[in-house]
């Protein structure tokens, strides 16, 4: 999954860099604030791909004495920085420039250049978006989950960020096209500035959504209740277990979960050898049924 995610991020980064240059040139030539806002959006997205690539590569570092459970959490940290970049660079520039254009409007010129860049940008963004969406659908199908549930709860942070960014980029391009067209047709440059502000608001929504999800993971988020119940049932049904007193889970990465379980043992399972054998059996069962569980700790505790 990491190799495919890296390819998705690289494609998005290359597309965003080329699009950012084209939008910037077209915005300066045409005088369209909406196009310049979209250029800032693409610059922010390009920087984000650097963050996301860093996240993927640093999360591969093996566990060590200071980080015994590995570096999987770095995926959420760098994805959070990407959300901040969207908010500060993309949304901030778009809204400031949009307000400036509304207060001091300037005519939009060279419409053919503007429309040409918008069409080419839409094609490139669409290709990147399709790759991210296809990866999400494939991963959801492999895990046997609905695509939306996978996106919300289990998706690789880098791919999820690319999907959100590209979705916002496609909508932003449509907003920019509407702003440029309305300004040209009505002669009211207000619409170009208003489109820039709308793009900024769109980016704020995307940044908040991504930031909230990644912050929740960094704080420490458990598995879904139904998955925890399935693990609990798997352990409780093992001969030698009277009851599962408590089960705690923590997501270390999209494909790595830590589970701690307090169990009440059957009175016959009291010797050290019996407890050790039972623990090994449960560990094997749970890992087989739930491959994302990388660390499982059992604590024999009387109920």
Q: 126-162: per-residue pLDDT in tens?
A: 988 998 889 888 888 887 778 888 777 778 888 888 8
| pLDDT at residue 269 in the model | 55
Q: Is the pLDDT of residue 270 over 80?
A: no
Show the CA angle centred on residue 220, arms to residues 216 and 221, nearest 5°.
70
Report residue 268's pLDDT band, with 50, 70 and 90 as the boundaries.
Answer: low
| pLDDT at residue 234 in the model | 92
Q: Is the pLDDT of residue 2 over 60?
A: no
Q: Is the pLDDT of residue 163 over 80?
A: yes
* CA separation for the pair 68, 63 (Å, rounded): 5
Task: Give the chain's domains with CATH numbers.
Answer: 2-219 (1.20.1510.10), 225-300 (3.30.70.1350)
Q: What is the mean pLDDT of residues 203-216?
A: 89
Q: What is the mean pLDDT of residues 197-201?
A: 91
Q: Are 40 and 90 in contact (CB under 8 A)?
A: yes
DSSP states of 37-100 as a string?
HHHHHHHHHHHHHHHHHHHHHHTTSPP-SS-TT-STTHHHHHHHHHHHHIIIIIIHHHHHHHHH
pTM above 0.85, yes or no: no
* CA separation for the pair 23, 28 (Å, rounded): 8
Q: What is the mean pLDDT of residues 202-227?
A: 89
CA 223 to mean position of chain CA atoms: 17
| pLDDT at residue 107 in the model | 80
Q: Is the pLDDT of residue 31 over 90?
A: no
Residue appearing with tokens 């549930």: 149
| pLDDT at residue 271 in the model | 66
| pLDDT at residue 272 in the model | 67
Distances (CA, A) of 174 to 21, 74, 168, 272, 278: 18, 34, 10, 67, 60
**What are 49-99's pLDDT values in tens digits?**
888 888 888 888 888 888 888 888 888 898 888 888 888 888 888 888 889
* CA separation for the pair 25, 186 (Å, rounded): 24
Q: Are 199 and 37 in contact (CB under 8 A)?
A: yes
Q: Is the pLDDT of residue 168 over 80?
A: yes
What does pLDDT average to over the chain? Answer: 86
Three-state DSSP at 258 gives strand
Residue appearing with tokens 């791919």: 159
Q: Is the pLDDT of residue 23 over 60?
A: yes
């Amino acid at each position: 999954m990491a190799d495919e995610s890296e390819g998705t991020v690289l494609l998005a980064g290359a597309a965003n860099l080329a699009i950012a240059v084209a939008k910037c040139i077209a915005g300066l030539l045409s005088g369209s604030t909406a196009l310049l806002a979209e250029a800032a959006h693409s610059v922010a997205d390009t920087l984000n791909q650097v963050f996301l690539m860093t996240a993927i590569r640093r999360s591969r570092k093996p566990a060590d004495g200071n980080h015994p459970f590995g570096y999987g959490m770095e995926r959420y940290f760098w994805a959070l920085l990407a959300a901040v970049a969207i908010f500060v660079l993309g949304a901030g520039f778009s809204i400031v420039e949009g307000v400036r254009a509304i207060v001091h409007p300037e005519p939009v010129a060279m419409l053919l250049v503007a429309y040409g860049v918008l069409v080419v940008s839409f094609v490139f963004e669409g290709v990147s978006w399709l790759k991210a969406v296809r990866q999400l659908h494939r991963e959801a199908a492999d895990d046997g989950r609905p695509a939306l549930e996978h996106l919300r709860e289990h998706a690789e942070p880098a791919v999820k960020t690319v999907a959100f960014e590209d979705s916002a980029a496609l909508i932003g391009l449509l907003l920019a096209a509407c702003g440029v067209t309305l300004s040209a047709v009505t002669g009211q440059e207000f619409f170009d500035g208003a489109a820039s502000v709308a793009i900024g608001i769109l980016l704020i929504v995307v940044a908040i959504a991504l930031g909230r999800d990644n912050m929740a993971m960094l704080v420490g988020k458990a598995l879904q209740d139904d998955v925890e119940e399935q693990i609990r049932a798997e352990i409780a049904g093992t001969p030698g277990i009277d009851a599962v007193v408590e089960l705690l889970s923590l997501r270390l990465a999209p494909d790595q979960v830590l589970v701690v379980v307090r169990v009440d043992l059957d009175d016959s399972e009291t010797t050290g050898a019996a407890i050790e054998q039972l623990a090994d059996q449960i560990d094997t069962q749970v890992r087989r049924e739930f491959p994302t569980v990388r660390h499982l700790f059992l604590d024999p505790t009387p109920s």
